[in-house]
Every structure is written in structure tokens, then in C-alpha cells.
Amino acid sequence: MSFKPKHQRLVLALSALVALIGAALLAMWGLKDRAAYFVTPSDIAAGKVAAGEPLRLGGMVASGSLRQLGDGVTLRFVVTDGKHQTVTSFRGIPPSLFKEGSGVVAEGRLKDGTFVADNILAKHDERYMPPQLGNEVATHAAERTVAQ
Amino acid sequence: MKRALLLVPLAILALFVAAALWRLSSPPDPTIRSRLAGQPLPAFSLPAAVPGRPALDSAAFADGQPRLLNLFASWCVPCIAEAPMLLELERRGVTIEAIAVRDRPEDVARFLQRHGDPFRRIGLDTASKVQLSLGSAGVPESFVIDGRGIIRYQHVGVITAKDLPVLMAELEKAR
Amino acid sequence: MIAEAGLAALYLAAALALMQLAVSLVPALAPQAAQVARPLALAQGLLTAAAFACLIVLFVRTDLSVALVAANSHSAKPLLYRFAGTWGNHEGSMLLWVTVLALSGALLAVASRGIPERMLGATLGAQAALALGFYAFLLLASNPFARLDPAPVEGQGLNPLLQDPGLAFHPPTLYLGYVGLSVAFSLAVGALITRDVGPVLARAMRPWVLGSWVFLTVGIAAGSYWAYYELGWGGWWFWDPVENASLMPWLAATALLHSVSVLAARGGLRTWTMMLAVVAFSMSMVGTFLVRSGILTSVHAFAVDPTRGGFILALLLIYVGGALALFAWRAPAVGEGARFALVSREGALVLNNLLLSVILAVVFLGTLYPLMVEAATGEKLSVGPPYFDAVVGPLALLLMLLLVVGPLLRWRRHEAPLTKWVAPSLLAGVATLAATIILAPDISLLSRLGLVLGVALVPASLMPLAGRSLRRTPLATWGMAIAHLGVAVSVIGMASDSAFSRERLAAARPGEQLAVGPWLVAFNSVTPVAGPNWTAIEAELAVTQGGSERVLKPQARTFTSPVTETSEVAIATAWNGQLYTVLGRQSGQRWQLRLWWKPFVTLIWLGAGLIALGGLVSLIGRGWTNRRTRRRLAEAEL
């Protein structure tokens, strides 16, 4: 089949529109249960979080809570936001500056009351990641002050 | 109908710009004050960063007087930008203790000579141990400590003229 | 003095850009606009190049009286990184961006014989308008030549993650691609203004799109390999906003590349091509905005910079908004292209364009979704691999399916049966499907389909060459075949990595032996080592895969200025994949070791290399054909 010129144009425009709407619907479907919410131990304590959902848990590693399990590669620690606490476990090599008392963002899921992290971002990372951003704000401020 | 279709890209652009503008005008809060506030200062005892000056001990903070604890380093350019602000705080009567991170005594001395010296005591934290125990990721960073040695406020990054009133208020509250 | 000279060159270039724009705006001058604009564009290009050279000299000499150098360099750094430090920061990279923009304008002005004068005049005007905005940004909000007084005794160093040869050349490559698309954008604007959208425009635009696309491909592949071996996480693509920022222009450029071919060869898809040309460079600008403003770093973003972000956003709004408005106004007047049947090469390319556009849209939405949700509800969330893999994966597979058939179709209308041509692919695909079901029943559906379609595409990509005299086949056809083969190779690598990777995480004592996949790893020792600006703990691993033994030395490094800790991965590459080793921290008497066996992971970047090579071959072929056509025309006139 071949289109008349006028129709061909309309068909192209319509297919572009359909593609756009399709993309939006597809994205909405994908985002519905695949976006990870950023939560704190208080949110978990308040029961706002369903088990098994992808999450990012933010807080501080409570002092004295960091334990290495017998296998040598699993860490167990408590994330706190000052009000509530969440027991967290992580199997793997954490970032070098992951320490007790430092800020942490753990990516993972809640399972039987324990947060099982697949990935850990120590607060240290935020000043260097992504690398392109570096210390820009700080140096920018330095120039401004020096210029005054 | 077709005309309207041609305007769809413009609408998407408008949406993008609106979201970006919102973020630029209300940047996320970079501080983590709520997490450290209320915690006692971790115990430490550091040697003096400059020979002939007093060393810095965490016990010294519990003398009833609120003060500022500043983390800096001579190799840190933003710390140069912060120096005039610290001098201004000292002029307003604030006691400032300092920790020089991963530094050498001769470099610290040169830094103080060039950029002013508002500090009462300066401890030398060669291996970043105290810095990490304070939950600090970089320099400069400052803490408001009350008279009982409890951390009241944490300021991440350079202190600018804009931050002075906030810090003064926090110091007043810690009294 | 060098810093001042660089600054002066920039101001002069900005003044020239203003003149170039003014010339194209005066209607009376329109017929001669191109004549006047040519030398201006050339001078502009040379001046910005000189300014960039000045900055390089300052960095190589480590002139600490310049604020930018003091903040980002260190005299103890090796020469290569002092050199690369020039663009390893905001101001330097923006100067690089402007330099490439002005040089592209100059090249367009010099090598533009095929373009009608009036269209060229309008195009150079648009290019000058773009350049002017970025000069303003550089001079007003990110001066790379600002002095620091007093000068510090030592610089602050460069982020150690950036001290890597791969990354030293990653940003410039990407920028060449980003900014090369600006010419396609200006040409589209010029053509819309002069109402001259047709094959002539497409032929002028095509080399720019091809060139930019080659650079983008190389830049993205290099960035991906850098992330793979520098971050120590074993992955090669993380769907990080910064990565997406480079992927989005690539997707748009890929679509544009295909639609511009239709316009050049058949005169069809006129409006659509104009739209894509505008979108492609818009995505470059969006990418630059996202990276430079810091608004999307992550949920715990640190470096939001309202001043600079606002400036780039304003430029983006003016240029993209202006071009889209011009498009909405002029598109109805753009001539109709040649007709074609649904089943035809054009039809397949339309489908290709639609699929690429849908992928672009879902990546765009996924990248910005956290921002929109936070703006609307205040809720913080992050969108990562689970979303992108689930949504982009199937769309990419559809695109591959189209790739098997599309290049075999005839222009305008295809009626002959395709069975003979598709049979080898069908056979290869079915054989792979059977083999994976029998040998690896547990792999995910997406990886399995990836393997099947990847293998099926290998014969299909070479089919356009079959049955032809290879010596008389145009280079452009060779280029297409090579690039499509590259897609097949790359997808096989990705699917193999996700389906067959084996990971072993262990706490081991020196002297222990570990097995991962076909590899045997003997953990010999741990020793401290030191470099010029770092200290490290280094493990010695003797690794074998049946045959001869190799020694790998992964490190946990601590840099001194600024203090940062990184993992130095050690990789053993074999014909059938890579063994990837990371040293973790000490736990008691034991050390954490993370070992990955990644079969055929190397194909990912090999395929990307083939894709870029295909683009390059095609570009050379087009250039050669164009010259020959021109010579023939000239001879005919005589």
C-alpha cells in the first residue's frame, strides 16, 4: 500500500504522537514500582515502608554497632537518624571511608525487619561523585571571596 | 490538530525548564545537622599543630563556654576563602578551636601567617582519625560545641558571609 | 601575561561573534551575509583555539596565580595529568566546549561549497548566536583565567579518580560529539529560515551528524570502560544521570543519522529530520546543563550551583525554545517528501526513528522523574537500573529485530520476498535459542533474547554486502554493515556479561586458593607500595585458566592531595573474557577479595569500536563521493 501525499504526512505525524504517548505510558508503568524511595529509619519505624520494595536508606552508622560476621565479608550495623534505628546488613566491600559515626546511604530492600543492602554509598562519596562535579562549589566560593 | 502537535515539543521544554528552575531555586539541604546534633564530642587528644602552642584535647571543651570547632588544612583552597570569616567571628568574641587535617607544622604556620590566625588551640590530625570520628568528609567543616562538650550544629563546607548570622545564633543558643 | 592574553582572545572572539550575528540579521545584507560571515567565523575559531592553548600552557606550567590552576592542579602531578587537568574542571571544560563550537563554525565556513549562499548566511548567523551565549557564560560566570591573589604555595590537586589516561581523553571526545551537533542544529535553523529544506541540506548536514556521532560513540564507550575498571564495581553502565546525559544526544543523533539518509537519498522525512536535528543538539545542551548545574547528582546531591545552572538553563531556553518555535511556525511550509510504501527502506527507517525516539523519551523521563516528583510532592526517590533495564531492554531488542530486516528492504516499495536473505539469520537465531535453552536454562529472558538477536544480526548485518561486487560496493554501504555488525557484537557482549558472569566474594588469607568460573586464583601475598602522590596496599594474585599463569596486582590506594581512597582493579584479559579482581579491606587475619569472571565482556567495547569505525568509513566514503560528484559537475560545466 502507498499513501497519498497528504495522508502520508498525517500518518507520520500521528505515528510520532502515538510513539510519544506510548513512551510516556511505558515510562509510567516502569516507574510505578521500580523507583527507589529515599527513606530514613524513622520512616521505617512508622511503618511507611513495605518489605521487598527497592529503597535508599539514609542516616548515620551508629557508634559501636559495626560487626563483621564470621565469613569475613558480611557487615552488620545499625543506621540511625537520631530518633529511630534500623538494623542493616551488607555483603561486599564497602567504600573505604565507610566507618562508624559517618553518614551513609544504603541501597537495598527491607526483609524481616532488617535492611538488606546491595550497595553502600558512604557520605564521603558525595563530594567526589560524580567525578566531574568535584569540589566546584567550594572553589567557586573561593574565587568570589578573593575577588572581593 | 497538526498545529497543536507542533507545539508539543515546546510544552515538553517548558515542563523541563520549570522542574529545573524549581530545583535551582530550592537546592537540597547539604548539611546533616540533625544527625550529629546532641551527640557528645568524641574523645580525642591531639598534639599541637604549631610548635610552642597549646595542644587540643576533647576534655577542654567541657569548660562551660560554647565555641566553634573548625576543621581546616593548609592545602585546602576553600579554607583560604573561609579565613576572613573566621577572623570576623573571632572579632565578635567567638572562641575558635581548630583541627588541621593531614598537615605539616611548617605548612600550618605559613598558612596562619598568610591568612590570619583566629584560633585559640590547633590540634594536628595527621591521619584524619578525629575528622572521621566527627563524621566529617572533607575540609573545611565547622561544629558548634556547647559548654558541656555536646555538638549543637554542624556546618559543611566554606563559611560565607551569609552563614555568619546562622552561626552566631547557634552559638547564642548553645550558651 | 598568558592568562590576560587568553582572556583578551575570548573577548575579541565574542565581539566577532556579535558582528557575525548582526550581519545575518540585517535583511538587506542577506545575499552577502555568507561572504562577510566566512572570515569572521574563521577568525573566531582561531581566537578561541588560542585562548584554549593559553589555558593549557598555564596548567602545564602549574601557574598557581591562576585560581583555576590552584584549585585543580598540583606540581607533583605527572605531565599528562597536568595537561589533561585543563579540562578536568568546570571552567576548563566550558572553554573546551566553546573552542569546539567556534572551530566547528570555522570549519563550516571554510568547507561549505555545497551549501546555497543564503542558507549558509542564515546558518552562520545561528552558529554565531549559539557561540555568543556561551562566550557570555564563560566571561560572566565561569572565567577560567581569574587570578588568585596571593597565590597559594601548592595547588589543591586533581581528583584522583580523574588521574587516568582513559578519562584524560574522554571529555574532549564527548564534547566534539556534543558540539558537532550544533552545526546540524544551525543548518536546520538556517534551512527553516530560508524555507529550503531538501536533499541539498541533508547532504550538507550528513557529514556533521556522522562525525559527531562517531565521537559520541567513542566518548561513551571510553567513559563506560573507564567506569568499569576505575570504580571497581564490576559494572560497565550504571544509568547514572551523568551517563544518561551522554546517552540521550547519542540516541537522538543515531535517529537523525538515519533520517538524514532518507532526506539525502529520497527527499523524504523533511519535517521529521528538522525536528531531530533540533532535538539532537537540545539533548547536548540538556546533558551539559544536567552535569554542570549539579541538579541531578543523586538523592544526596552536593554541588547545586544556582548561578551557573541558571545561566545554562537560560541559554537552553532561548536556543531550544527559539528553534522549536521556528519549527512550529515553518514546519507546515516545509515541502512534502517523496512518497513511499509502508514496507520499504523508508518505512523501516521511520520505525527505527520512532523506536529510538521512544527510547530517548523513556530515558529522559526516567532521568528527570526524581526531580519532577520532588518538585510536585516533596518525596525523594531515585530511579536506577531496575527501571532502565526493564524499559529500555525490550525496546532495544525490538530495534535489533528491525535491524535484521530493514537494511535488506528496497527504497520506495519492497515487494520481492526476503526469505533467501533472512534465512541465515533465522537459522543462527534458532540455533542460539536452542543452545541456550539446553546449555543455560536459568538465564534471564532479556539476556537470552539478547544473545539470540545478537547472533542472528551477525549474518544479517553482512547481508547488504552479499551478492555484490565488493570492490564496487560504496564505502557508505561498507560503513553501514560494519556499524550494524558492531551493534551485534556489542549486544552479544552485554547479554553474555549479564547471563554468564560469575562473582566470588571471599575473605582470604595469603596462601589460599580460590576458584571463580574457569579461573584458579592463588592469593600469594599482600604488600604496601607507594607512588608519587599515593600509598597503597597491593595484593599479589597468581591466576590461571587452564594454561599459563599470570600475576595480577589489585590495589587499595590512598591519595594524599586531596585525601581520597580508591580501588585499583586488576584485570586479566583472555580471548574468552576477563577476570576482574578487587582488593577490599582487612578483616582480622584475612583480606576481602572480590573476583568476577566475565565471559566475552570485552565484546561490548569491541562492538562499540566497530560501530564508530563503521561511521568513520561511511564519512570517508561520503566525502569521497561528494568530491567526485563535484568534479563531474565542474567538468560538465566546462
Cross-chain residue pair B9–C371, CB shorter than 8 Å: no
Backbone φ and ψ for C466, nearest 5 degrees, come out as -70, 145
Cross-chain residue pair C71–B24, CB shorter than 8 Å: no
Q: Which of C396-400, C407-411, C537-541 has the lowest mean pLDDT?
A: C407-411
Q: Which residues of A touch C564 (CB under 8 A)?
A: 128
Nearest CA in chain C to A32: C387
Q: What is the pLDDT of residue A134?
A: 29
Q: Which of B43-57, C77-91, C347-361, C447-461 has the lowest mean pLDDT?
A: C77-91
**B143, B58 contact by CB (below 8 A):** no
Q: Is pLDDT of B42 > 80?
A: yes
> What residues of chain A have any CB closer than 8 angstroms to a CB in chain B?
10, 13, 16-17, 20, 59-60, 80-82, 97, 99, 101-103, 123-124, 126-127, 135, 137-139, 141-142, 144-146
pTM for the complete prediction?
0.83
Q: What is the pLDDT of residue C108?
A: 92
| Residue in A102, A105, A121, A146 to test binding to B, most B beta-carbons within 10 Å | A102
Q: What is the pLDDT of residue A137?
A: 31
Q: Which residues of B touch A138 (CB under 8 A)?
A: 77-78, 81, 157-158
pLDDT (mean) for C484-494: 97
| Rama region for C21: left / alpha / beta (φ>0; ψ in -120 to 50; rest) | alpha
**C288, C312 contact by CB (below 8 A):** yes
3-class SS letters over C454-478: HHHHHHHHHHHHCCCCCCCCCHHHH
Q: Is pLDDT of B8 > 60?
A: yes
Q: Is pLDDT of C158 > 60?
A: no
Q: What is the pLDDT of residue A143?
A: 35
Q: What is the pLDDT of residue B31?
A: 41
C-alpha cell at B49: 599543630
Nearest CA in chain C to B25: C306
Q: Is pLDDT of C519 > 70?
A: yes
CA distance linking residue C618 with residue C211, whole number of Å: 10
Per-residue pLDDT of A41-92, as tens digits, reads 888 888 878 888 888 888 778 877 888 888 878 889 998 877 788 999 998 8
Cross-chain residue pair A36–C300, CB shorter than 8 Å: no
CA distance linking residue C267 with residue C262, whole number of Å: 6
Cross-chain residue pair C317–B13, CB shorter than 8 Å: yes
* Helix or strand holding residue A91 (H, E): strand A85-91
Q: What part of C 246-285 touches A (C-beta under 8 Å)?
A: 269, 271-272
CA distance linking residue C423 with residue B117, whole number of Å: 81
C-alpha cell at B82: 573561609
Q: Using CB atoms, which residue from C154, C289, C327 is nearest to B75?
A: C154
C-alpha cell at A3: 499513501
Q: Is pLDDT of B145 > 70?
A: yes
Cross-chain residue pair C148–A128, CB shorter than 8 Å: no
CA distance linking residue C248 with residue C258, whole number of Å: 16
Q: Is pLDDT of B72 > 80?
A: yes
Q: Is the CB of residue B29 less than 8 Å away from at least one CB of chain C?
A: no
Q: What is the pLDDT of residue A140?
A: 33
Q: Is pLDDT of C171 > 60?
A: yes
Per-residue pLDDT of C309-337, as tens digits, reads 889 999 999 999 999 999 999 988 887 67
CA distance linking residue B147 with residue B173, whole number of Å: 11
Q: Using CB atoms, which residue from C306, C317, C331 is nearest to B25?
A: C306
Looking at chain B, the whole-number percentage of residues with pLDDT higher than 90 is 17
Q: What is the pLDDT of residue A145?
A: 33
Q: What part of C 108-167 touches A (C-beta under 8 Å)?
A: 146, 148-149, 156, 159, 161-162, 167
Residue A122: pLDDT band with limits 50, 70, 90: low
Chains that touch B (3 or more CB pairs under 8 A): A, C
Q: What is the pLDDT of residue B138?
A: 66
Q: What part of C 349-388 touches A (C-beta under 8 Å)?
A: 350, 354, 357-358, 361-362, 365-366, 369-370, 373, 379-384, 386-387
Q: What is the pLDDT of residue C188?
A: 95
Backbone φ and ψ for C405, nearest 5 degrees, come out as -100, -45
Q: What is the pLDDT of residue A138?
A: 33
Q: Which residues of A touch B77 (CB under 8 A)?
A: 138-139, 142
- Residue C324's nearest CA partner among C273, C269, C275, C287 is C275
Which are the contacts of B172, defined by CB distance < 8 A and separation ≥ 6? none
| Residue in B158, B159, B163, B164 to test binding to A, most A beta-carbons within 10 Å | B158
Cross-chain residue pair B80–A142, CB shorter than 8 Å: yes
**C121, C30 contact by CB (below 8 A):** yes
Helix C270-293 × helix C170-193 angle, to 10°: 140
Q: Which residues of B touch C275 (CB under 8 A)?
A: 9
Nearest CA in chain C to B27: C304
Q: Is pLDDT of C511 > 60?
A: yes
What distance in Å separates residue B19's CA from the closest CA in chain C? Answer: 6
Nearest CA in chain C to B114: C150
CA distance linking residue C130 with residue C183, whole number of Å: 10
Mean per-residue pLDDT of chain C: 87
Q: Using CB atoms, which residue from C342, C358, C556 is nearest to A96?
A: C556
Q: In what order do the strands lie in the sheet with C502-508?
A: C502-508, C590-599, C577-587, C570-574
Residue A139: pLDDT band with limits 50, 70, 90: very low
**Burial (CB count <10 Å: 0-12, 13-18, 19+), residue A144:** middle
Residue C300: pLDDT band with limits 50, 70, 90: very low
pLDDT (mean) for C516-525: 93
More confident residue, A128 or C100: C100
At C476, the amino acid letter reads: A
**C564, C535 contact by CB (below 8 A):** no
Q: Which residues of C touch B107 (CB under 8 A)?
A: 153
Q: What is the pLDDT of residue C581?
A: 94
Cross-chain residue pair B78–A146, CB shorter than 8 Å: no
Q: Is pLDDT of A142 > 90?
A: no
Residue C544: pLDDT band with limits 50, 70, 90: very high
Pairing type for strands A74-80 and A55-61 reads antiparallel
Cross-chain residue pair C328–B27, CB shorter than 8 Å: no
What distance in Å separates residue C144's CA from the closest CA in chain B? Answer: 16
C-alpha cell at C225: 570502560
How far CA C415 is from CA of C277, C350, C411, in Å, comes to: 32, 18, 11
Chains that touch A (3 or more CB pairs under 8 A): B, C
Chains that touch C (3 or more CB pairs under 8 A): A, B
What distance in Å separates residue B12's CA from the closest CA in chain A? Answer: 11
Q: Is the CB of residue A9 less than 8 Å away from at least one CB of chain C?
A: yes
Q: Is pLDDT of C405 > 70?
A: yes
**C449, C574 contact by CB (below 8 A):** no
CA distance linking residue A29 with residue C369, whole number of Å: 13
What distance in Å separates residue B22's CA from the closest CA in chain C? Answer: 7
Q: Is pLDDT of B41 > 60?
A: yes
pLDDT (mean) for A104-133: 65
CA distance linking residue C294 with residue C292, whole number of Å: 6
Looking at chain C, the whole-number percentage of residues with pLDDT higher than 90 is 52
Q: Is the CB of residue C415 less than 8 Å away from at least one CB of chain A?
A: no
| Residue in B8, B77, B79, B141 to test binding to A, most A beta-carbons within 10 Å | B77
**Burial (CB count <10 Å: 0-12, 13-18, 19+), residue C55:** buried
Q: What part of C 251-310 touches B (C-beta under 8 Å)?
A: 275, 278-279, 282, 286, 289, 293, 295, 300-302, 304, 306, 309-310
More confident residue, C634 or C279: C279
Nearest CA in chain B to C150: B114
More confident residue, C216 or C30: C216
Q: Is pLDDT of C357 > 50?
A: yes
Per-residue pLDDT of C227-249, as tens digits, reads 888 777 788 888 888 889 899 99
Cross-chain residue pair B20–C372, CB shorter than 8 Å: no
Listing DSSP states for C112-126 in one string gives -TTS-HHHHHHHHHH
Q: Is pLDDT of B13 > 80?
A: yes
pLDDT (mean) for C456-480: 88
Q: What is the pLDDT of residue B77?
A: 65
Cross-chain residue pair C304–B3, CB shorter than 8 Å: no
Chains A, C: CB contacts within 8 A come to 195
Q: What part of C 536-595 touches A (C-beta under 8 Å)?
A: 556, 558, 562, 564-567, 582, 584-585, 587-588, 590, 592, 594
Q: What is the pLDDT of residue A97?
A: 63
